[in-house]
């Protein structure tokens, strides 16, 4: 973090920062650099190679990240804080090097998800 809060140190936690600030991650969870820091990993899959007539699904993960900043930390009805129950992190995107070759692209996405599962992380993919 470039700026360390001096008056409100609790704002160092991205979940407590204003929703309009910072880089958008899924549900304002931390961007996970190390797989060992995550129990549930949210992975963007910006790919629309299998879509017909209307490309654009590749922009889905970015749009979901933006909209998910509006999600509250606690469920108002139950009082449960899902992010208190597990270490949830944004794993970034499964960048596809072969977006125009469907079989190769799907193999790339599969290999990323396989690595996540091998790290004993529950994956949640968006895209």
- pLDDT tens over the chain, length 127 residues: 455 666 666 666 666 666 666 788 898 888 898 899 999 999 999 988 877 777 788 889 999 999 998 888 888 899 998 888 999 999 999 988 888 888 999 999 999 999 999 999 999 999 8
Listed residue (89, 69, 75) closest to 27, CA to CA: 69
Listed residue (29, 10, 19) closest to 84, CA to CA: 29
How far apart are the C-alpha atoms of 102 and 122, rounded to whole Å? Answer: 25
How far apart are the C-alpha atoms of 114 and 9, rounded to whole Å? Answer: 38
What is the pTM assigned to this prediction? 0.79
Q: 117 — phi, psi (to 5°)?
A: -65, -40
């Amino acid at each position: 973090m470039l700026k360390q809060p001096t008056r409100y140190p609790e704002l160092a936690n991205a979940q407590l920062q204003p929703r309009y600030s910072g880089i958008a991650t899924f549900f304002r969870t931390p961007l996970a650099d190390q797989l060992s820091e995550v129990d549930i990993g949210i992975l963007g899959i910006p790919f629309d190679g299998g879509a017909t007539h209307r490309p654009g699904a590749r922009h889905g993960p970015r749009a979901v990240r933006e909209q998910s900043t509006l999600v509250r930390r606690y469920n108002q009805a139950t009082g449960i804080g899902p992010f208190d129950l597990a270490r949830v992190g944004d794993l970034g995107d499964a960048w596809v090097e072969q977006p125009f070759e469907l079989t190769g692209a799907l193999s790339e996405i599969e290999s990323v998800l396989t690595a996540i599962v091998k790290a004993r992380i529950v994956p949640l993919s968006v895209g």
